Amino acid sequence: MMRSLYTATTGMVAMQLQIDTMSNNLANVNTLGFKKSRAEFEDLMYQTLNVAGTENAGGSRLPTGLQVGMGVRPTTVHKFFQQGDFQNTGNQLDIAISGQGFFRLQDPSGNDVYSRSGSFKLNQDGTIVNANGYTLQPTITIPQQATNVVITEKGVLSATDNQGNVLTTANIPVYTFINPPGLTALGKNVYQISDASGAAQELIPGDQNAGTLVQGFLEMSNVQMVDEMVGLIVGQRAYEANSKSISTADAMLQTAANLKR
Amino acid sequence: MQQSSISALFGALSNETRLNIIANNLANANTAGYKADKVAFQDVFQRMASDYAPDARNDLKQKNLLPRPLIVAKPRLAEQTVDMTQGSLETTGNTFDLALSGPGFFRVQTPEGQFLTRNGQFYRNAQGQLVTNQGYPVLGESGTINIPDGKVVSVNAGGQILVDNQVVGTLGIVDVANTKELQKVGQSFFTGANGAQPATRPVDGTRTTVNQGFIEKPNVEVVTEMVGMIEAHRSFEAYTKIISSSQDMDKQVTSQVGETR
């Protein structure tokens, strides 16, 4: 049967992945600290019908060959860790990272996970946790009588009571990775270290390449609606073009089949 | 049997291959750095042995019973060339997305040897090496490129990689003397004819520049491919019509001419 049927199938499957990726980006357009993804593709293997440089019947060498490609395949879905927009909330425990870096959190089973979402709250013990109850690492407990929490750019947290007495101080470090796109997304706004991401490097905010902390702000998702919409159009049209290849191949096969009556 | 049906068969088969190539172009309509394939046809002239036979007529009044075709032309696919025109650049803003404008290729080291590519969607892996999205190291002027962690990684138009304004490496971009002899191996890679290393030369810095934060889109023109597809489809139909017409004629020959009245 015609190769183009299968070639176009790989194209349709790849474009489906493109649409799926874009849809997930759009679904998370308002998710705090969400980082958009992009699907990347590469061409599949080639069938060589004529090798370039072979001698032809006339004794001269063919300047070019004849190769038929077998389609496309997705290689990666790449996460983009570009800075998202900041939103001013005025909430004392909303912290955004301006620049590179992640907060370290501990999930209920005791694993270290990393997140850009800085929407923190206090749990029943006064410990700083994220919206899912994962504790911010290192663990910081704010005394009950504290009325004011100040976090500096460098990550120094100090909680004071209404007389201005400092009740507790702590440092919030940020963690950077040599290859952030290598992190494994676990959902719920958190990531896990993988072999590709490299080990987490603990830094004081503002040092080396680490970002600074901004209190009272949240980092929004870095999804650009227009980019995604254009991506959807591109994906849809490419999908349609590939379906045209299939219907053309089908029509040609039908013509061929009708030859013998 | 009729020579025309054999000629038409060649034509139909060529158009099938053409459709396969078009389907591959369309399947890769979103593959970064992909270069479209183009096909060319040629006639195969076939001369019959009888054409060279000395003319047995010794009298002008003697006539040949039927005019003989002296030359039978069969179309066949002559060559497939890779269209090396520049693809459009799309901005992504990602640090390691590099696009070449102008001629030239990035060099990539794989277990199967060195390959050339125009797909500049690179990463920094956990070891700090610059790699392709399949994980193969990208080659610089002196071997693989290591990018230390730093605040700002920038790549200038000449392919120099700077981390915090310190040059840490230069991309080994090469130009190919004769791009026609390049063969595709899949995964967006090119190699020379018969898998040999193509003859390369340094790029002309005034014509080729590296653009950071961009990817090169494929140079597939969907409209051209669609028109090509219609053309392939319709000529396939026309060839099958020839096959069925000559079949009809053969039928008439066998049923009517041989009939005894």
Q: Give residue B55's pLDDT band: very low, low, confident or very high (50, 70, 90).
A: low
Which residue blocks in chain A are alpha helix, DSSP H? 3-27, 225-258
Q: Å from B206 to nearest chain A CA?
A: 29
- Residue A26's CB is within 10 A of a number of other CB atoms, namely 15
Q: Å from B162 to nearest chain A CA?
A: 14
What is the chain A residue with the closest CA to B21?
A68
CB contact under 8 Å between B133 and A182, yes or no, is no
Task: Identify which of A65, A68, A249 has the shortest CB distance to residue B183.
Answer: A65
Query: Between B3-27 and A3-27, two packed helices, what is the crossing angle to 10 degrees?
Result: 20
- Lowest-confidence segment of A83-92, B65-74, B83-92 by average pLDDT: B65-74
CB contact under 8 Å between B26 and A82, yes or no, is no
- Whose tokens are 């996970």? That residue is A113
Say what the pLDDT of residue A229 is.
Answer: 94
Say what the pLDDT of residue B72 is.
Answer: 59
What's the ipTM?
A: 0.79
Contacts of B77 in chain A (CB under 8 A): 49, 66
Q: What is the 3-state secondary structure (H, E, C) of chain B?
A: CCHHHHHHHHHHHHHHHHHHHHHHHHHCCCCCCCCCEEEEEEEEEEECHHHHCCCCCCCCCCCCCCCCCCEEEEEEEEEEEECCCCCCEEECCCCCEEEEECCCEEEEEECCEEEEECCCEEEECCCCEEEECCCCEEEECCEECECCCCCCEEECCCCEEEECCEEEEEECCEEECCHHHCEEEECCEEECHHHCCCCEEECCCCCCEEEECEEECCCCCHHHHHHHHHHHHHHHHHHHHHHHHHHHHHHHHHHHHCCCC
Contacts of A261 in chain B (CB under 8 A): 244
Say what the pLDDT of residue B106 is.
Answer: 93
Contact (CB, 8 A) for A151 and A160: no
Say what the pLDDT of residue B70 is.
Answer: 52
- For an interface test with B, give the residue of A64, A247, A258 to mutate (most B CBs within 10 A): A64
Whole-number mean pLDDT of chain B?
84
Say what the pLDDT of residue B14 is.
Answer: 85
CB contact under 8 Å between A197 and B24, yes or no, is no
Say what the pLDDT of residue B45 is.
Answer: 57
Contacts of B240 in chain A (CB under 8 A): 255-256, 258-259
Q: How far apart are CA B43 and CA B37, in angstroms?
A: 20
What is the chain A residue with the closest CA to B36?
A69
Q: Å from B53 to nearest chain A CA?
A: 23
CB contact under 8 Å between A67 and B184, yes or no, is yes
Contacts of B28 in chain A (CB under 8 A): 11, 41, 43, 69, 71-72
Task: Identify which of A49, A182, A248 has the shortest CB distance to residue B126.
Answer: A182
Q: Higher confidence at residue B195 or residue B219? A: B219
Q: Evaluate if residue B125 carries a pLDDT over 50.
A: yes
* Interior angle at CA A54, CA A51 and CA A59, nearest 5: 150
Task: Identify which of B133, B193, B194 has the shortest CB distance to residue A40.
Answer: B133
Say what the pLDDT of residue B67 is.
Answer: 47
pTM metric for this prediction: 0.82
Residues 6+ apart with CB under 8 A from B42: B75, B76, B77, B78, B79
Phi-psi domain of B165 (left: phi exceeds 0; alpha: psi -120 through 50; beta: other): left
Q: Evaluate if residue B56 carries a pLDDT over 80.
A: no
Q: How far apart are CA A139 and CA B45, in angstroms?
A: 84
Say what the pLDDT of residue A172 is.
Answer: 93
Contacts of A205 in chain B (CB under 8 A): none
Amino acid letter, B216: E
Instruction: Output the tens digit of pLDDT for each of chain A's 261 residues.
Output: 678 899 999 999 999 999 999 999 999 999 998 999 999 999 988 888 777 666 766 666 666 777 888 899 999 898 888 899 999 998 889 999 998 899 999 999 989 999 999 899 999 999 999 988 999 988 999 988 888 899 999 999 999 988 888 898 999 999 999 888 889 999 888 999 999 888 999 999 988 888 999 999 999 999 999 999 999 999 999 999 999 999 999 999 998 888 877
- Secondary element (H or E) of residue A42: strand A37-43
Contacts of A237 in chain B (CB under 8 A): 222
Instruction: Quote the percentage of chain B above a pLDDT of 70.
Output: 85
Smallest CA-to-CA distance from B119 within B106, B138, B128, B101 is with: B106
CB contact under 8 Å between A69 and B119, yes or no, is no
Say what the pLDDT of residue B251 is.
Answer: 86
- Whose tokens are 């990463």? That residue is B123
CB contact under 8 Å between A241 and B133, yes or no, is no
Task: Identify which of A7, A82, A234 has the shortest CB distance to residue B20.
Answer: A7
CB contact under 8 Å between A242 and B125, yes or no, is no
Say what the pLDDT of residue B59 is.
Answer: 61
Give tens-digit pLDDT for B147-175: 888 888 899 998 899 998 899 999 999 99
Task: Identify which of A41, A82, A199 has the shortest CB distance to residue B31.
Answer: A41
Q: How far apart are CA A194 and CA A79, in angstroms?
A: 14
Q: How far apart are CA A21 and CA B97, in angstroms?
A: 19
Contact (CB, 8 A) for B36 and B219: yes
* Interior angle at CA B196, CA B193 and CA B199, nearest 5: 80
Q: How far apart are CA B198 and CA B117, in angstroms?
A: 13
Contact (CB, 8 A) for A115 and A218: no
CB contact under 8 Å between A252 and B80, yes or no, is no
Cβ–Cβ pairs < 8 A, chains A and B: 213
- Residue B254's CB is within 10 A of a number of other CB atoms, namely 10
CB contact under 8 Å between B134 and A178, yes or no, is no
Q: Which residues of A166-186 are buried (b: 16+ CB within 10 A; e: fewer)?
A: ebeebebbbbbbbbbbbbeee
- Phi (first) and psi of residue B234, to 5 degrees: -70, -40
Contact (CB, 8 A) for B181 and A52: yes
